[in-house]
Homo-oligomer: A and B are copies of this chain.
Amino acid sequence: MKATTDQASPKFVAPAARTVTFDQDGTTWVEQPMYTQVIYCLERVAVLAKAKPDLKDVEPFRTVLSGNREAMAKFTMPDLEEILAATLTGMTVEQFGVQVKDWLGTAKHPRFKRPYTELVYQPMLEVMRLFRANGYKIYFVTGGGQDFVRVYSEQVYGIPPEQVVGSAGGTKFGYDKAGRPMLTKEPKLLLNDDKAGKPEGIHLIIGRRPVAAFGNSIGDKQMLEYTQAGDGARLMMLVHHDDAAREYAYGPKSKIGTFSDELMAQSKKQGWVVISMKNDWKRIFAFE
């Protein structure tokens, strides 16, 4: 890293170009047993059902409210889309921010019994700090919802809203009854920020190729390839979840955060650094 800030070094990176991208789920915080935002959506259904009691008689909401995990695991894409639309759209962007903030203040992870925002990997916060100290600008490039992550990214990671690239739905500009302008969240996907969508999202929101990129799954492959294809000094890293005792151990067989054998082979071939959570991280969480 030092070489990239030394003008005399062939690895020097101009200050304006010092851009680093991090995936979030599984790279900077826990993504098991389910993505945090999916848990939010499922738990949010109960809040909606208080205002609209009829929901409990309508699928897929009935199943969500029953708490039957096995039945939920069988949801089809249209089922999931209906749940996402009901919980992530239809409100103003400010209302959504309040809803997420309220939930984060009370929700607890089923295994760790702590707020989700405490399940952040301490070594990654340290890496971010090191990059910042060397003049790098840090972006999230996450498959998670851009508006969801923006609610807490500044407080938890020091990443401001304008540096969050995420899956993004459209908004619609309009006026409330008092004639005040507002932006309402729409059920229309503008950017699916996963796999090929990651470099595409980086171009749309940042317009620069990152110098370093961090991920943990097949969803990050294209972002790492795109990062590596630039000139000069490059750093590509993947977190490997191999620590069932302290966090989780999962890999090619996991639906969430799949780290396929092909990805491991590609990492070796292309010189991407694979971090073993078990062997390389002394401390995973700040609360340990």
Contact = CB atoms under 8 A, between A and B. Distances in A.
A171 interface: yes
The range of chain A's interface size is 35 or more
Q: How many copies does the complex hold?
A: 2
Interface string A158-199: 001110100010111110000011110000001100001101
Contacts of A204: 146, 168, 171, 190, 205
Contacts of A190: 190-191, 204
Nearest to A147: B207
Interface in A212-258: 222, 225-226, 229
A207 B16 contact: no
B16 A173 contact: no
A196 B208 contact: no
A160 B168 CA distance: 22
A75 to B, nearest CB: 28
Nearest to A196: B173
B93 A203 contact: yes
Contacts of A164: 207
A206 interface: yes
A162 B200 contact: no
30 contacts: A16-B154, A16-B160, A19-B162, A146-B207, A147-B207, A161-B206, A161-B207, A162-B206, A162-B207, A162-B208, A168-B204, A171-B200, A171-B204, A172-B196, A172-B200, A173-B196, A173-B197, A173-B200, A173-B222, A173-B226, A180-B229, A181-B199, A181-B226, A181-B229, A182-B229, A183-B200, A183-B226, A190-B204, A204-B205, A205-B205
